[in-house]
Amino acid sequence: MEEVYSGSEGRSDDEVRSDDGESESGEETKESLEDAMLQTIKEFSIYTRAITKDLEDNEKKEIEQAKKKGNSKIKPIWQDSTFKIDFISNLLMTLLSSERIIKYYITYVWPMKKHLKTRNTDFFIKNKRIYPGAPEEDVAFFKALWSVKGAMTEKEKETVWKFWDILIEITEAWQDIVHWERSEADDMWITNIDYNKAEENLHKDDDEISEDEEELERARQYMQGNFVKLTKEVNNNIVNNNNMKGSVNKEKKANLKSSSTKSSNSTNKKTNGKKVKELSSDDDSD
């Protein structure tokens, strides 16, 4: 498949809309920037999934038509790409706080800022090591967005770059306020990346680039182990929160029951008192 339908019809990329990171008072705060980070990631995901959804749907039709003609050797490029984008986006939102997402961005993405700002696609296409823990098929699909002719229009590519610009601006503004320095207490569980080797690959032909597959596999296992660990922590927190809510609800119910009983007893006392008084009056009249 030399050309792939880009599916750009119906996708608006005239501008990238995002929260500017300002609070209601008009000043940037740590909290407003963290909110802006989450909002931008959501919008970035929605925009990218619109591209991959069109590519995926069109490719499926092409493969079905090819099979009808007896050609069953076409290898899909975009299969499950939309699911992967949704999965990664939801993973970020579910497992990581907005503050931690920014810390990861500073740790992992900032070393590549110059390549993002100069729109250097080669850096991201020629390297595997800059995608820590990612399976090969996921890296391949991401690279294909930039390397397959027609996958994205030039306008769409520029819109994607603009999203990265906004994320860089948000994290830089956040760092200007917080002055965060990474420590062991942060437990970033991200594998170390040799950015110097990644830089060296820029000056090599594709057939000259050699990556240590064992090292990459160790990185994947390391990241996967940390992912499982974090998932358990989050699930435990959810269970604990639910248990706390359950305890609070039980306590509320018990208080309501107690209040109801007291109210009932009080009403009974008043009623009985009234009856006693009425009986007493009847006796007197007799």
**Which residue blocks in the chain are alpha helix, DSSP H?**
30-68, 81-95, 98-108, 113-117, 121-125, 136-147, 154-178, 195-201, 213-285
Give me the mean pLDDT over the 244-248 stretch. Answer: 60
Q: What is the DSSP string of 68-80?
A: HTT---PPPSSTT
Domain ranges of the chain: 30-211
pTM here?
0.64
- Identify the band that residue 233 occupies on the pLDDT scale cut at 50, 70 and 90: low
Give the closest residue to 55 by CA, choosing from 4, 21, 2, 111. Answer: 4
Chain centre distance of CA 58? 26
Q: Which residues contact 197 (CB under 8 A, 6 or more apart)?
A: 129
Burial of 145 (0-12, 13-18, 19+ CB in 10 A): buried
Q: What value does the mean pLDDT take over residues 225-233?
A: 61
More confident residue, 75 or 170: 170
Instruction: Identify the three-state secondary structure at position 149.
Output: strand
Query: What is the four-CA torsion angle of 125, 189, 46, 61, rounded to 10 degrees?
Result: 60
Which tops the pLDDT comparison, 97 or 286? 97
Q: Check if the beta carbon of residue 109 is closer than 8 Å to that of residue 193.
A: no
Query: What is each CA distance from 244 to 47, 229, 249, in whole angstroms?
Result: 38, 22, 8
Three-state DSSP at 79 gives coil
Weakest mean pLDDT among 56-70, 76-90, 153-167, 222-236? 222-236
Tokens 């407003």 sit at which residue? 32
Residue 54 C-alpha from the chain's centroid: 22
Long-range contacts of 56-63 (CB under 8 A, 24+ apart): 56/80, 56/81, 56/82, 57/7, 58/4, 58/5, 58/7, 59/1, 59/4, 59/5, 62/1
* Contact yes or no for 9/139 (Cβ under 8 A): no
Q: What is the pLDDT of residue 213?
A: 58
**Which of 10-19, 26-35, 108-117, 212-221 comes out lowest in average pLDDT?**
10-19
- Interval 37-82: pLDDT, tens: 999 999 999 999 999 999 999 999 999 999 988 888 888 889 999 9
| pLDDT score, position 186 | 75
Tell me what pLDDT residue 263 has: 52
181-192: average pLDDT? 72
- Pick the residue with more confidence: 98 or 276? 98
